[in-house]
Amino acid sequence: MLDTYKRQSGLGVMVMTIGSLRGDDINMYADRVLDASGKHALLIIARREGKIALMLDEDLEGRFSQADARRLISSDIVTHFQAGLYDKGIEAAVKTLITTLGTAPLHKSK
């Protein structure tokens, strides 16, 4: 799904699960990973801490708001995770993210 989306849109989306943040802040951790990866969006799940973050490259501003990210996490991920449906939660979140981002060309802000 993510490879197909990358070919269609030119946008790289990454999903990462980690065992533990080891005391790090999830948003700072995700920001570092996103910067290093060259991707445009990162959904990260820290299992031990039960934390989830969605980080977007600044080039995606206007396509997906912080309110959209909170809704995606609470509706798509948390709801499924609470039912023990982890794969379905991640899949639902990715589908929501790529549908909302669309496939229109990226206008670089840099």
Residue by residue, DSSP assigns the chain as: -HHHHHHHH---EEEEEES--TT--HHHHHHHHHHHHT-SEEEEEETTTTEEEEEE-GGGTTTS-HHHHHHIIIIIIIHHHHTT-HHHHHHHHHHHHHHHH-SSPP----
Distance, CA of 37 to CA of 105 (rounded, Å): 20
Q: What is the pTM of this model?
A: 0.89
Distance, CA of 110 to CA of 74 (rounded, Å): 31
pLDDT in tens, 41-97: 999 999 999 999 999 998 887 888 889 999 999 999 999 999 999 999 999 999 999
